[in-house]
Structure formats: C-alpha cells, structure tokens
Amino acid sequence: MNNYSGFGRIIVTIVVAMCLRIAPWPGFLININPDWVLLALIYWTIAVPERVGIFHAWTIGLLTDVLTGRVLGQYALTYSLIIYICLLLHKRLRQFPLPQQSLFIFFCLLFIQILLFWLNNIQHQSQLHASFWLPVFTGTLCWPFIYTALRRVRLSRRAK
C-alpha cells in the first residue's frame, strides 16, 4: 500500500472532468462526449482504491445528476455499481496492459449506457439511436490518454 495522501489532486481532476461533462460542446461533439467523470473515477479507484470508493462514487454521481439535469440518483446508482466492480477487480486491472484495460472500460461504459437508457425509458417509450454507441467508443478510445494523464498527475507528487 502506498502513502498517497493527495486527495486534493483527486478532487481537482474530478472537478475538471465535471467541467468537461457539462461544457457547451459544438454540434456533433455533444453526441460523442464520453463520461469523463466516470473515466476519472475508474482511474482513481484502480490507482488508489483505499482513497476512492463507493461512497465517493455515489456522492460524485449525485453531483453529476444535478449538473446534467438528470433524475436524482441515476448517475449515483450507475457510478456506484461500476466502482464496486472496479474495487473487486482493482488488483487484476492494474496488471492489465492498456488495450485490455480499454476493453474493460468499453464494457463499463456500455453497461452504464444500457442502464441509463433503461432508467430513462421506464416511463416513456424511446428508440435506440446511433448516438447511444458514440460515447462508449470515444470513452474507450480516450482511456489510454486519460490513464496516462492521470498517472502523471498522481506520480508528479512523488517526484517533488
């Protein structure tokens, strides 16, 4: 176990991810905007599971619900489920090379999209569009860059 106590860096990266989540993206970019918050949460859960857990995922999910205007609890539920899975598998996920981690991220993002689609359509009928898949693919493609960037943020503290 490492003695990483830089919880402030974790909070800053989550806030940046939330800003990216609600940024006014132009036209087609709004449809391909991945779930930056979840990707950051997954990284921190894998990297420092003793610092980021289900409670943090639930709280950040509630904040994301408020920021995005969703029904309160949708992101809280989905983030908590994904982070629970990450906590169960964090030792194994650390050993995976980035392509295998990206495959895991793909299934996490797909699970979230399916769950959110189901939760949104309990009351009213809606059809599945091509835009359903775009955030899943872009999030998967962004994972190696997010992993590398957040790893540098985490390790930069140790170098000083």
Higher-confidence residue of 27 and 51: namely 51
133 Cβ neighbours under 8 A, 6+ residues apart: 113
The reported pLDDT for the residue numbered 123 is 60
User: 55-72, pLDDT tens digit by residue?
Assistant: 999 999 999 999 988 888
55 Cβ neighbours under 8 A, 6+ residues apart: none
For the segment 15-30, the average pLDDT, to the nearest whole number, is: 89
The reported pLDDT for the residue numbered 122 is 77
For the segment 80-102, the average pLDDT, to the nearest whole number, is: 95
> Taking 60 as the threshold, does the pLDDT of residue 3 lie above it?
no
User: 97-130, pLDDT tens digit by residue?
Assistant: 999 999 999 999 999 999 988 887 776 766 677 6
The reported pLDDT for the residue numbered 6 is 80
Reported confidence tier of residue 25, pLDDT bands at 50, 70, 90: confident
Give the torsion sign (CA, 86, 59, 41, 95): negative
Q: In terms of pTM, does the model score above 0.85?
A: yes
Question: Burial, 124: exposed, middle or buried (Cβ in 10 Å; 0-12, 13-18, 19+)?
Answer: exposed
Rounded Cα–Cα distance for residues 151 and 148 (Å): 5
The reported pLDDT for the residue numbered 157 is 61
For the segment 132-143, the average pLDDT, to the nearest whole number, is: 93
The reported pLDDT for the residue numbered 126 is 66
> Taking 80 as the threshold, does the pLDDT of residue 131 lie above it?
no
33 Cβ neighbours under 8 A, 6+ residues apart: 20, 21, 25, 135, 138
The reported pLDDT for the residue numbered 1 is 43
